[in-house]
Amino acid sequence: MRFSSTFSLVVSAALLGIPALAQSAAHPPLYNTVKQKLLEGKQVFSFTQSKFDIAGYCEAAKHFDYTWFEMQHSTLEFKDIEAMIAACPHAGAIPMIRLPDAQEWHIQHATDIGVLGVIVPTVDDVDRAREAAKWARYPPVARRSSGQGQARSIWGINGIDYAHTINDNMLVVIMIETPTGVANAYDIASVPGVDVVIIGNNDLSVFSGFPQTDDRYQMLMNKVHDDTLRAGKIFGQANANYAKGNPLSKDSKFFQNGPSFDGWKLPSGGGRSASAPPPGEEDTPAKAPPKKK
C-alpha cells in the first residue's frame, strides 16, 4: 500500500537539500496549519486538554499551534472533545488526540469528530504503526470509512472538498517510548502514512531505566532521531524542554506542550493546570548528556 501524501514527498525532498516550499509551490497551503508549519521546517507546540472545559479550551486554543487532547491518561470521552471542537472550530490550535491505542473505532471516532491528527502512544513495532496509518486516511491509500460526523462541516468550507483534501491534511504521529520501539525505529518510521515520530521522553526513561541526563539515554534518542530522518519523516519529542539546548534540538520539530506563540500563559490554580500533561514529560530538564571523563 503506497501513500501519495504531499507531506512525505516534501520531507524527502528536504532531506535531499531541495527547499520544501519550492516542492509544495504547486499545492495550496494546508488547512492543517500544524502540518504546513512542519513542512516549512518550523517547531510546533501544544497545550494539553485533559478535561471537559469549553471556555478554557476555546481560550487556550487561540494561543498555540495545536491542541493535544489527552485520552490516554484522562477520562475524556469522544463526545466531550466533539463538543469542545464544535464550540470554537476555527479557534487556531489544530485539534489532535492522543489515543490510548490504534484501534479502528478509536481512530474513526477521532477523525469523524474533526481532528486533523492522531497521536498513537507506545509503538513497539510496525504492526501498531500500520494500524494507526491504515484507519486515519480514506481509500485508495488507506481504510478510513466514510462517516457522518462533524468533520466535513468544520473543514469542508469555502469551497474545500473535505473528502478529497483530508488525506493530505491528516497528521499521523507515532510515539516511541520503549527500548523495543527504539530497536524498531527505522521500520516504524518507514511505514507509509506515518508522518511524525516522537519520543515519549518520560516513559523512555522509565522503560529503559536510564535518567534523561544519562549518555545512554541520549544514545537511544539519537537512534530514533537518525532512523526517523533516514526514513524521510519528521522527528519530535514529548518533552518541550528539548526544543532548545540539546544536540537534537535543531531537528526536533513536534512537541507536546511548550510556549504559546504570543506569550500567553495557561492559567494555574495552585498546582498543575487543568490542561497539564501527564506528570513527567515537562518536569525533567532536557540537558546534553554528561561528558565522559
- Residue whose C-alpha cell reads 507515532 in the numeric block: 174
| DSSP code, position 4 | -
Model pLDDT, residue 23: 36
- Cα–Cα distance, 162 to 152 (Å, whole number): 6
Model pLDDT, residue 268: 72
Please give the domain boundaries of the chain with CATH numbers for all domains.
Answer: 6-255 (3.20.20.60)
First to last CA, the chain: 49
Q: How far is CA 167 from CA 32, 117, 141, 193, 194, in A?
A: 11, 11, 8, 9, 12
User: Which residue type occupies 212?
Assistant: Q
Model pLDDT, residue 281: 58
User: Which residue type occupies 117?
Assistant: G
Model pLDDT, residue 18: 31
- Residue whose C-alpha cell reads 516550499 in the numeric block: 21
Extract the residue ranges of the chain whose pLDDT is less than 70.
1-28, 269-293
- Residue whose C-alpha cell reads 472538498 in the numeric block: 161
The predicted-structure confidence for 57-69, as pLDDT tens digits, reads as follows 999 999 999 999 9
Cell of 61: 486554543
Model pLDDT, residue 111: 98
Arithmetic mean of pLDDT over the chain: 87
Model pLDDT, residue 20: 37
Helix (H) or strand (E) holding 13: helix 6-15
* Beta pairing partners, 60: none
Q: Which residues have a Cβ under 8 Å from the Cβ of 241 and sit 6 or more positions away? A: 282, 284, 285, 286
Whether 24 and 30 have beta carbons less than 8 Å apart is answered as no
Residue-by-residue DSSP string for 96-120: EEE-SS--HHHHHHHHHTT-SEEEE
User: Which residue type occupies 95?
Assistant: P
Model pLDDT, residue 93: 98
Model pLDDT, residue 271: 34
Three-state DSSP class for 134? helix
